[in-house]
Amino acid sequence: MAVQSFLRAGPRRARVLSGFWRKPYWTVAPALACLLVLSIYPVFHLVWLSLHNVRILPGVPPEFIGLKQYGWIFNDPDFWNSFRVTVQFVVAVSLIELALGLLLALLLNFDAPWVGVLRMLFLLPTLVAPVVVGLTWILLLNGEFGLINYLLGLLGIRKQAWLARPDLAFAGLVAADVWQWTPFMMLLILAALRSLPVEPFEAAATDGASAWQSFWYLTLPMIRPVMAVALLLRALDATKVFGLVLVLTGGGPAVATNVLGLYIFRKAFERSQMEYAAGVAVILLLVTLAVASVYTALLLRSQGRARS
Amino acid sequence: MSGVLRRLSAQTLDVKVRYAAIILLLLIYLFPIYWILTMAFKLPKDTFAYPPVFVFQPTLENFAVAFGKSNFLRLTLNSTIAALGNTFVSIAIGSLAAWGISRHRIGGSGLLLGVLSVRMIPAMSIVIPLFLLFVQFRLVDSFLTLPLAYLAMNLPFVIWTMKAFIDDIPYEIEESAIIDGCSTVGLLRKIVLPLALPGLVATSIFCFIFAWNELILATVLTRLTARTAVVGLTTFISQESEINWGALSAAALLVMTPPLALAVLLRNYLLRGLTAGALK
């Protein structure tokens, strides 16, 4: 599992042999060529676009405008609204999913026939397209004939217009995402629980520690690194949310759930403000890479500590 | 290990209670999937019934509408072409690179971290330049479009995951083949490929599911010819003034069936693939 040794990788003898053999560089060439054209070049083009004013008229060269685009973006309340909504969404879903995922993992952490199948069944929502998850939750949250209003009605709570009120629409969005991704959190935490050493627990049991004590003082500290990694991984993914929001709320009511992904998409492809959208996309990329570098650093550090 | 775990869990919760709790929770948890499944077989009067009806006269009318009027069969076929095509190319190119990186340390840890970073680039960030690139090469809305575009997402995934799988294969077998004078191509084809097969299956499942479910690139890079089923679902919602929820549910059911069927059929590979990429 150690990431550092994983990165260094490969059996030691492979290196000795490859001293005789020339390294087969051709094996990585096609993959690198594809990634250069389809991932790396687009990133540079994106940054270039955000710094230029591209004229639609033929024969007129694009004009370099420096950071002006970013000035406009940072003065746009709609951008800040989308930024705030995205941050709120990411924080809400990753924390709720972590807490529920931990509970679910503890519940599923035992050995008995069929437990493997039960674990797998929990994972099914994770594999459904976010668009389909959105559709399913529209049906559940519908104010007229939705099942959730019906169930609330049985408890004596009156019908709510879930997708028409800003706070409720946001809550619905969070609920749908939590439904889809909590099992993924469970899977990562469960993997950590299953690989815990036995000795400390045996010693604690001998010393008469209660189940709660051994959870709080042994289990939790030992799985904390994995929980941190899982949290960041989910945060990273939640930053990219698009399909679910597009279908479930369409960014509305008004702009209450207009996450950055949706904001960029509409600016670029519905309002034809490509350069402006490119600027916002650069900001999204920077935010993602910031979270990603914390993730990678944590992953390397925790694995390094586990190794030593 | 399992003995201790069992004893520890027996302290806190009886196994039977645990089973009961899990199964109850699972029924609630999977209810939304069951609900959309029933919607697909309901007549319009039952779809909008309030209070919601649990017992109803099933009908196939919704599927007829989805296939007929909305041309959903064509969209599903397009999704299949895009997902299968991309999975094939990603696996072929990606595993080759993974082998080179694993066995010969090509590029060192810098290349691997680079691949990991590329994997984290959001699709929404590269979709604008990618669109301009595809327009320039007249590649928008063809059957090559999505298999190519999805390489940006799936290649880093395949390289990262397959490297983990190949690292776990003992090197001695390959070594003796090299000593016997086997060429690199022969080595890959006769020895590495069969040994890496379980890993290849696990990785393929995820490539396929990702490509099948992808929305952003599919929306921007396809029009009428190569539009996928997932994109079809979103236009269903935005274009129709009066949404036919029955037909829409039938279409949604068709979109979610292949990933779920793959997961259930190949469940042993699935769990391996899910954890391999994330924690290693």
Among A103, A216, A198, A192, smallest CA distance to B6 is for: A198
Ordered per-residue pLDDT tens for chain A, 308 residues: 455 556 655 555 554 454 545 688 889 999 999 999 999 999 999 999 999 888 767 777 888 888 888 999 999 999 999 999 999 999 999 999 999 999 999 999 888 788 888 888 999 999 999 999 999 998 898 877 788 888 888 888 888 888 888 999 999 999 999 999 999 999 999 988 988 888 888 898 888 888 888 889 999 999 988 898 899 889 999 999 999 999 999 887 889 999 999 999 999 988 888 899 999 999 999 999 988 888 888 877 766 655 44
Of A120, A198, A211, which has the smallest distance from its Cβ to B11's Cβ? A211
Domains of chain B: 2-62 (no CATH), 65-279 (1.10.3720.10)
pLDDT digits (tens, 9 = 90+) for B98-146: 999 998 888 888 888 889 889 889 999 999 999 999 999 999 999 999 9
Q: How close is the nearest chain B Cα to the Cα of A255, in Å?
A: 17
Q: How close is the nearest chain A Cα to the Cα of B225, in Å?
A: 19
pLDDT digits (tens, 9 = 90+) for B188-243: 888 888 888 988 998 999 999 999 999 999 999 998 889 999 999 988 776 666 77
Asked if A135 has any chain B CB less than 8 Å from its own CB, the reply is yes
Please, which pLDDT band fits residue B1 given cuts at 50, 70 and 90?
very low
Asked if B17 has any chain A CB less than 8 Å from its own CB, the reply is no
Class of A69-199+207-307 in CATH: mainly alpha
Report in angstroms the alpha-carbon separations of B65 from A145, A247, B70, B76: 22, 21, 7, 15
Could you say which residues from 18 to 47 on chain A have a Cβ atom under 8 Å away from some Cβ of chain B? 18, 21, 23-25, 27-28, 30-32, 34-35, 37-43, 45-46
Mean pLDDT of the region B53-73: 81
Complex confidence, ipTM: 0.88
Report in angstroms the alpha-carbon separations of A153 from A149, A209, B208: 6, 45, 41
pTM: 0.88
User: What confidence score (pLDDT) does residue A263 get?
Assistant: 94
Contact state of B128 with A46 under an 8 Å Cβ cutoff? yes
Kindly write down the DSSP assignment for every residue of A245-305, as one continuous string. Answer: HHHHTTT-STTTT--HHHHHHHHHHTS--HHHHHHHHHHHHHHHHHHHHHHHHHHHHHHHH
Please, which pLDDT band fits residue B175 given cuts at 50, 70 and 90?
confident
Asked if A265 has any chain B CB less than 8 Å from its own CB, the reply is yes
Asked if A131 has any chain B CB less than 8 Å from its own CB, the reply is yes
Q: Which residue has the higher pLDDT, B81 or A149?
A: B81
Domain ranges of chain A: 69-199+207-307
Asked if B99 has any chain A CB less than 8 Å from its own CB, the reply is yes
Q: How close is the nearest chain B Cα to the Cα of A167, in Å?
A: 22
Contact state of B35 with A147 under an 8 Å Cβ cutoff? yes
Of B107, B113, B148, which has the smallest distance from its Cβ to A28's Cβ? B107
Could you say which residues from 44 to 83 on chain B have a Cβ atom under 8 Å away from some Cβ of chain A? 47-52
